[in-house]
Amino acid sequence: MNELHIPVLLERCLELLAPALTAPGAVVVDATLGLGGHAEAMLERFDRIQLVGLDRDRHALELTRERLAPFGERAHLVHTVYDEVPRVLAELGIARIAGVLFDLGVSSMQLDEAARGFSYSQDAPLDMRMDDTAELTAARILAEYDEADLRRIFWEYGDEKLAPRYARRIVEERRTAPIETSARLVAIIDAATPAAARRAGHQSKRVFQALRIEVNQELAVLERAIPAAIDALEVGGRIVVMSYQSLEDRIVKREFQTRSISTAPRGLPVELPEHRPELKLLTRGAELADDEERARNPRATPVRLRAAERLREAA
């Protein structure tokens, strides 16, 4: 499993979380468990913590359950989406947590398993579900969404300037036959791409990203999950988030900034406790992987890491 998955920015994540994980019985949530690289390292490094690991991918969860079995009852693994942090903690009888880690985006295993349809470079059914018990697939989106909705998701989630052209061509092509494989979708996109744009890079990348985000409702889930995770932190608790594209990072940045500034009205002579910032930012902007990290683990190349510490309870 270690050969399949190299945890991104592992040492930096551990360094940022460490001050919050020293007390016996401290609880840390790995909200995106994946293949368990970060979780295993946390359980080894901080031998008195309890870990709650969440993942919507039941196949990854099965593998990680075996990986973390040596830690016994210190690891609690749950099949769920990460915006369900409050419900999971309530069911486990946990009132507050010391730390939480988010490693967003598609996992290494999901990318590497061609049959799951995440990659535009390998032909496979257009599935893209992180949770294969969910109903919505990429093929269903391409079959059922109208042209306006296809244009919207390509534009909003893929930042695709040719979104109108691609949406129109997809609607035309699906009248002939269903678009059910990645190879057919790539061929449709290639045929609809002007030669000049084709030279700028593989256009399918942005369309596939947009479809994946829509299938898994990634941004909507993240907008609920980050505030919920912060609210679950105890004072002195820490949150670390790794994003891999600007849409994710924008959501994290906005929530962190909102909670890290005073809400006191201008001119107020004394800042009341309820106006003080809830968070202290632990990184200056978003940290990037250095050259050594990118060489060792190419999937770290687009990462943007942000971290914060909880300063006070909400008013």
Residue 249 is assigned to a ligand binding site: no
Residue 82 is assigned to a ligand binding site: yes
Residue 202 is assigned to a ligand binding site: no
Separation CA 252–CA 255 (nearest Å): 5
Q: Which helix (H) or strand (E) holds 79?
A: strand 75-79
> Residues 38, 68: contact at Cβ < 8 Å?
no
Partners of residue 204 on adjacent β-strands: none
Q: How many CA atoms lie within 13 A of 113 on its CB side?
A: 16
Please provide residue 59's backbone torsions phi and psi, each rounded to the nearest 5 degrees: -70, -45
Partners of residue 240 on adjacent β-strands: 101, 307
Residue 36 is assigned to a ligand binding site: yes
Residue 103 is assigned to a ligand binding site: yes
Structure tokens belonging to residue 166:
């691609």
Pick out the residues of the known binding site for S-adenosyl-L-methionine. 36-38, 55, 82, 103, 110
Pick out the residues of the known binding site. 36-38, 55, 82, 103, 110
